[in-house]
Structure 1
Amino acid sequence: MTFDPQPPTGTHIRLLAGHAGSGQPVFEVLPARPMRSGLFELTGSPGLVLGCAAGDVLRISDDGRFEVVGQGQNWCIQVAGLGRFGPKPFAALRDAVADLPGLAEAPPDLRFAVVTVGRAVGMSAVERVMDNWAAGIDGVEWWFGNADQSVLSA
């Protein structure tokens, strides 16, 4: 993995993940490092928000919408299933992506997972590892959370 997290700063940002059936906004809170002119560098990849990964530099509006103004060196791979993951499938995911090298994370209740992998590894290597891992788990799906991200200058 090419992203080296900064020391904890206690800064978190709130990004719009979508809207609930009631129309209410749903937000994901993520660790970040403040930068110049109201910009933030993500220090963790999102599990729900699409379009960014750890290492990206974001401009965030008051409503949680964001623009990637500097693309980092990482892919964000998001993983979800029909329910919660068990500890064994999550441990297998952690082990599988460690060889890329990558980092798999999940909330304590294992309702989803997120993998951060350096772009230099290449999509095909990530796809192979993720497909092999997912093949043994019923109802699991994974996707690149930031594959369609366009590169903008900072």
Structure 2
Amino acid sequence: MHLLLRLGERNGKPDYEPVHVEPVAGHRFRVLYSPGLAYGMAAGDELEVDEEGRYEVVARGGNLSVRLLCGSGVADMEPSLTEQIERIGGRLDGQVRAGLAYTIPLSAGRDVIRRIFAKAKLENPGALWEYGNVYDEDSKLMEWLRSVA
């Protein structure tokens, strides 16, 4: 099932992303695929979601969400990058013309992940990558990672 999670506002109106989830209990849901736009979560995390789509992560699944974006498109780089991510236990969760969303187990190590994506960026200078659930809106390491970083 999909839930519309609130991203914020655009042109004065609420903006949402549909995210694949499974119900856990009440207003609690488990994320099945790391989203491409919604921040703070990865596949395996559990969310509390209100009627307006605002969400809070209430349990972590031990995964990192990583996104790669490239205005000229990602089709050429996807096969090689996905192969590398699969070798460290990750998976491709979503693809659009200009972006890829991956779920990677935290146990793979952030240094290994950084090397893979830095190489992809070097080979594709227009690309950029980011974590979706590592840093908060002030660019500080999120609390859940401080004990394992």
The TM-score range, normalised by the shorter chain, is 0.7 to 0.9
- Matched residue, 2:21: 32
Residue number among 124, 130, 138 corresponding to 2:125 in the alignment: 138
Q: Secondary structure at the match of 2:76?
A: helix
Q: Where does residue 143 of structure 2 map in the other structure?
A: 150
User: 1:42-68: CA deviations, max 9, x gaps?
Assistant: 011011111000000000122221100
What residue ranges of structure 1 are gaps of 5+ in the alignment?
Answer: 1-10
Whose RCO is larger (CA < 8 A, sep 6+)?
Answer: 1
Sequence identity, in percent? Answer: 25
Does the CA contact (< 8 Å) of 2:28 and 2:46 recur in 1?
A: yes
- The TM-score normalised by the length of structure 2 is 0.85
Gaps of 5+ in 2: 136-141, 145-149
Which of the two has greater strand per residue?
2
> Are 2:8 and 1:15 aligned?
no
**Aligned counterpart in structure 2 of residue 116 of structure 1, from 65, 90, 103:** 103
Structure 1 segment 54-133 matched on structure 2, within 5 A: 54-85=43-74, 87-107=75-95, 109-133=96-120
Say how many residue pairs are matched: 138
TM-score (norm 1): 0.82
- The question of whether the paired residues in 1 share the 8 Å contact of 2:71 and 2:98 is answered with no
Aligned CA-pair RMSD: 1.5
Aligned twin of 2:32: 43
Letter in 2 for 1:72: G
- Whether the 8 Å contact between 1:96 and 1:133 is mirrored in structure 2 is no
